[in-house]
Amino acid sequence: MIYLVFPTSWHPSQPYLSLPSLKAFLNMHGVHDVVQRDLAIELLNDLCSWEKTKPLYERIIRELNELSSRPRLNQVEAEKFNKLREAEEIVMALKDQIDSAVASQRSQEFYDLEQYMENLKIMDVWLDNILAPYYPSQLTVIGSQMRFSPYSSEEVIDSFNHPEENFFYDLYQQWYLPGILAEDIDILGISITSVEQIISGLTLAYLVKQNRPEIHITIGGSVFTKLVDRLEKQGSHLFNFVDSFVVHEGETPLLKLVEHLRGDGDLSKVPNLVYRQDGEVKVNRPFAKEELNALPTPDFDGLPLDLYLSPERVLPVMGSRGCYWEKCAFCSIPFDHMTFHVRYAENVVNDFKNLQEKYNCNNFFFTDEALPINFLRTFAAKIIEQKVDVQWTGELKFEKSLLKDDRMDLLYKSGCRKLIFGLESYNQRVLDSMKKGVELSWVDETAERCIKLGIAMHFYLICGFPTETREEVMDSINFVLNNQRLLDSPGFSAILSQFDLERGAPIENNPMEWGITKLYTPPEHDLSLGYSYETSIGMNAEETNELYQQLIEKLGREVMTFPHNYSLSDGLLYLAYHQKHSLTERLGTLA
């Protein structure tokens, strides 16, 4: 059996696309013994249940009593004692509310904003306290925090020796490992697509390998795609419990891995594979990419769709991989996907229709980094022509061509309810330095047209891009905060992020162009996905951090977090729900 797992954490409103894409591809090629499992939503669901977590509460009481009996406590023990004492009280106060809060998120009460916010607050407070035995480790609805750095394989592996802090180790072992080990598994695939999943995903790999060393464990996802050179040059202790890594795109490599492991065992024939053989790390180059139009509609069968925290399903879809622009100085997306490639609009429309019919889903989230305008025009026309009644959202680059020929009207008619833009900056010099290929007049015209049509907008903003001054950052913030029509437009959201210099970004190849005098990574951070740096132009790191902290607080006062800034998929549901009564009238004006 091929057993595919998506580990904690991810946003709980919708599944991630990786496993359903892999399962569908394997099935299409005759491999049907495939199981997929979303441990991120399973763990969240189990932890937000009083019945399931009673043993954790009993452990809180036991540990409180044990610490109370000691004549003296050191600082760490005293901090944990205080946390346990607080947790004892809070868990008892919330034990009759936690299950109803989760149920409320899956009901029509989701659309009551005050109830929505209260539900999430209850869940976050509950998680913080029911997991008090693992202090100082913490888990929220959408993330986790430990004292072990996910950027250091040494620290990740050290976390396995501390199940009293690594709740993934302890809870996976208690709740999920027995069932996994009972299956007839020959290949375990774990998708690690974000830093948040490094410790949880590798913890699962370690536990399985300790108990079933004959299972071939392979790791896929974008994280290790950025780390190929380090795996190759430095080797890694991760190979002691991970047999291989699939980098870049994974459908054909996983199929070939299955075929060769079940056949001649020759891993050298598996594209995009990184593995250790006879003590030496092998990397199978050249890296291959998929023919997107040969891919089937994703298959979500087996995922617990009723566990996601929303009253209606929102499913991810893909129209393209990579980015057609491929020039942004800060972006490593082209490195992940090598080259941009796109799926035919007709095939994507068929994906929508298949998923709508099979899973009773009317809401879709494009995972594309930047939807091509020509693709969108054809896609929208076909959706309208075939009368597919859906709502969707996706990410675009600001383009002059988007403003031509009533294209945005067409998008709205096809069900587009929100567009996500990587604005990054509202300063022309900074945009040019970023090599965004965007003019501010396009931003202004696009925003105005979206407001008139009723298409919501999300802006990603960056603070501290190399060479950027404080005044230039303020241009971006003022563009949002001084634009009341923008702030008042339904569903508007904006997130400011502090600049990170990622591995694989063009800046890495020519840092002096942006005044960067030094790039460095702590030697122990062998899993780091970026660099620290020093710059001779613009703000330094301390100035950037101070300004960032001020601005996120300022932005947070004007751009409400819930639901649109908290979750783009939740925001899509809110927009579809609250606009449904005026939708016929709106569409009539565009006829």
Q: How many angstroms from the chain centroid is the CA of residue 556?
A: 21
Tell me how far apart the alpha carbons of residues 436 and 331 are, in angstroms, rounded to a whole number.
10
Boundary residue ending a domain (233, 260, 277):
277
Residues 6+ apart with CB under 8 A from 302: 23, 35, 36, 37
Q: Say which residue the tokens 């189990």 belong to.
A: 46
Beta carbons of 282 and 274 less than 8 angstroms apart = yes
Dist. CA 269–CA 109, nearest whole Å: 53
How confident is the model over 241-254, as a mean pLDDT? 97
Residues 128 and 242 in one domain: yes
Rounded to whole angstroms, the Cα distance separating 208 from 304 reads 22
Residue 333: per-residue pLDDT = 80
Residue 587's pLDDT band (cuts 50, 70, 90): low
Do 115 and 201 fall into the same domain?
A: yes
- Given a cut of 80, whether residue 590 has pLDDT beyond it is no
138 and 14, same structural domain?
A: yes
Total domains in the chain come to 2
296 assigned to some structural domain: no
Task: Indicate if the pLDDT at residue 585 is higher than 90.
Answer: no
- The CATH number that applies at residue 320 is 3.80.30.20
Residues of the domain holding 316: 312-590
- Rounded percentage of the chain residues whose pLDDT exceeds 90: 94
Flag whether pLDDT at 332 surpasses 90.
Answer: no
Residue 298 has pLDDT above 60, yes or no: yes
**What band does 236 get if pLDDT is binned at 50, 70 and 90?**
confident
The DSSP string of 184-245 is --SEEEEE--SGGGHHHHHHHHHHHHHH-TTSEEEEESHHHHTTHHHHHHH--GGGGT--EE
- Contact between 433 and 467 (Cβ < 8 Å): yes
Residues 534-577 pLDDT 10s: 999 999 999 999 999 999 999 999 999 999 999 999 999 999 99
Co-location of 375 and 481 in the same domain: yes
Q: Are residues 207 and 355 in the same domain?
A: no
Domain boundary (261, 277, 293) is at: 277
pTM above 0.75, yes or no: yes
Quick check: is 268 in a domain?
A: yes
**pLDDT tops 90 at residue 487:** yes
Same domain, 272 and 330: no
From the number of C-beta atoms within 10 Å of its C-beta (0-12, 13-18, 19+), residue 379 rates as: buried
For residue 283, being part of any structural domain is answered with no
Same domain, 238 and 317: no
pLDDT at 268 over 90: yes
* Position 303 in a domain: no
Whether residue 78 is found in the same domain as residue 163: yes
Q: Say whether both 179 and 319 belong to one domain.
A: no
Q: Per the domain annotation, does 285 fall within a domain? A: no
Residue 36 covered by a domain: yes
Identify the bridge partners of residue 281 per DSSP, sorted by sequence position.
276
Q: Is 456's pLDDT higher than 80? A: yes
294 located within any domain: no
In a domain, 35, yes or no: yes
Question: Is the domain of 265 the same as that of 408?
Answer: no
Residues 257, 325: one domain? no
Q: Does the N-terminal peptide bond of residue 372 adopt cis geometry, omega within 30 degrees of 0?
A: no
pLDDT digits (tens, 9 = 90+) for 314-325: 999 999 999 999
Same domain? For 353 and 500 the reply is yes
